[in-house]
Structure formats: structure tokens, C-alpha cells
């Protein structure tokens, strides 16, 4: 079992900011606005505040819900629900697994960082990074919105993610040398 120890992280990632209205994907912009609405006057929305029936139907296959297990220093993220598009892309069932049982390095460290950042900062995180499959072959770019949820509306105990992929060779807004792409991690600000 690998536990993400936030006190011993050796890789440093740049952390920037993006306005919710400047998130490049319209679906993720809308999801960020929905998260903010559901938060109301609280620091964070709870899982009970998020109704899947309120979400655009096209987002549900790309959604992930994770439980945060353990303390802030030694925490793990466990897949509670995984959408069908995620299952199709990764090629196996993830529900019930911890992310350290499912993701290879260095992708695991980066995903752990985005989830921990959302939980600790209590705000959504938008990110883009190369996607490595289990053979550590870069087969695309993935972009996601990581949204913290809290039963008590203060301390994150779940993470909701909406994630999409662009495979190599697909026409998209990503251009250039895939070998030099650096992770983009941004805290989402609401204007």
C-alpha cells in the first residue's frame, strides 16, 4: 500500500490561478459554476448538495467521486463512483480501489497533488497533464476539474472530478511537442 505523505513530496508542481470563466472547456466552466451555486454561503458544498440529476447528462460518464481516507498528512483517495467514459478509457473497473492501487508514477503523484490541493485549499483545481497508461506510454493529454466536497461544509471528505482526454493525433486545441508538455495546475477563482 502506498500512502501519499504530503510532508515528503519530492516533486514540486507550479500552482497558478484561473478565473472560472476562463477555464478552456465550457462543460467544466459550467460545472465550476454549479459547484459554486451549491456551496451557497458555506466554504464547501456537501455531497448531499450535489444532485446528479442537476448535472448535464453528458458529464456523468466523465465523473469520478472519491472518498478521502486517513489524516491530512497520510491520506489516500478511494474511488467511490467512476463514470463509464472513465472506465472505457482506462480499460478496467476502478470503483473500490485507492488511486495508489490504480495509477502509475509519475501520474499518481500528480493526481494526488491535485486532489490534496483541492481539499487543503478548499477550492476547485483545474489541471492539464500528459496521461500515462500502465505501460508508462504517453497516449494523450487529460484535463480535469477537481472539486472538494465536505459533509460538514468545512473539511473536505470527498473529491468530485470531471475528466476528459485528448488522444495523440486527435485534432484539438493542444499543439506542439507532446514530449515537452508540463503539468498545468490552477486554483479556480470566481469573479
142 pairs with which residues across the strands? 129, 165
Q: Which fold has domain 13-189?
A: Beta-Lactamase (3.30.450)
- DSSP codes, 32-85: HHHHHHHHTTSSS--GGG--GGGS-TTTGGGEEEEEEEE-SSEEEEEEEEE-HH
- In tens digits, what is the pLDDT along the chain, a chain of 191 residues? 444 344 444 456 789 999 999 998 999 999 999 999 999 999 999 999 999 888 888 899 999 999 999 987 789 999 999 999 999 888 889 999 999 999 888 888 989 999 999 999 999 999 988 775 555 455 678 899 999 999 999 999 999 999 998 876 666 655 556 666 778 899 999 98
Confidence (pLDDT) at 117: 96
Domain extent listing, the chain: 13-189
> Is 35 within 8 Å of 23 (Cβ atoms)?
no
Measured between alpha carbons, how far is 182 from 176 in angstroms, rounded to an integer?
12
Confidence (pLDDT) at 44: 97
Instruction: Give the pairing of strands 16-19 and 184-189.
Output: parallel
Confidence (pLDDT) at 7: 42
Cell numbers that stand for 65 in this block: 467521486
> Among 21, 5, 11, which Cα is nearest to 110's?
11
Collapse the DSSP code of 110 into the 3-class scheme (helix H, G, I; strand E, B; otherwise coil) and give the result: helix
Rg (CA), the chain: 16
> Is 183 within 8 Å of 128 (Cβ atoms)?
yes
Q: What is the pTM of this model?
A: 0.88
Confidence (pLDDT) at 60: 94
Confidence (pLDDT) at 8: 41
Amino acid at each position: 500500500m502506498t500512502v501519499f505523505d504530503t510532508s515528503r513530496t519530492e516533486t514540486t508542481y507550479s500552482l497558478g490561478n484561473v478565473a472560472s470563466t476562463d477555464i478552456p472547456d465550457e462543460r467544466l466552466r459550467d460545472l465550476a459554476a454549479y459547484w459554486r451555486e451549491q456551496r451557497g454561503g458555506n466554504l464547501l458544498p456537501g455531497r448531499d448538495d450535489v444532485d446528479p440529476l442537476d448535472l448535464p447528462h453528458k458529464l456523468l460518464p466523465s465523473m469520478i467521486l472519491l472518498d478521502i481516507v486517513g489524516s491530512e498528512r497520510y491520506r489516500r483517495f478511494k474511488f467511490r463512483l467512476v463514470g463509464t467514459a472513465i472506465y472505457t478509457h482506462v480499460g478496467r473497473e476502478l470503483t473500490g480501489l485507492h488511486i495508489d492501487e490504480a495509477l502509475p508514477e509519475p501520474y499518481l503523484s500528480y493526481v494526488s497533488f491535485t486532489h490534496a490541493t483541492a481539499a487543503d485549499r478548499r477550492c476547485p483545481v483545474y489541471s492539464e497533464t500528459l496521461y500515462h497508461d500502465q505501460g508508462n506510454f504517453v497516449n494523450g493529454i487529460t484535463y480535469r476539474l477537481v472539486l472538494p466536497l465536505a459533509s460538514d461544509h468545512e473539511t473536505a471528505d470527498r473529491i468530485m472530478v470531471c475528466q476528459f482526454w485528448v488522444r495523440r493525433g486527435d485534432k484539438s486545441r493542444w499543439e506542439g511537442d507532446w514530449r515537452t508538455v508540463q503539468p498545468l495546475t490552477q486554483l479556480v477563482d470566481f469573479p
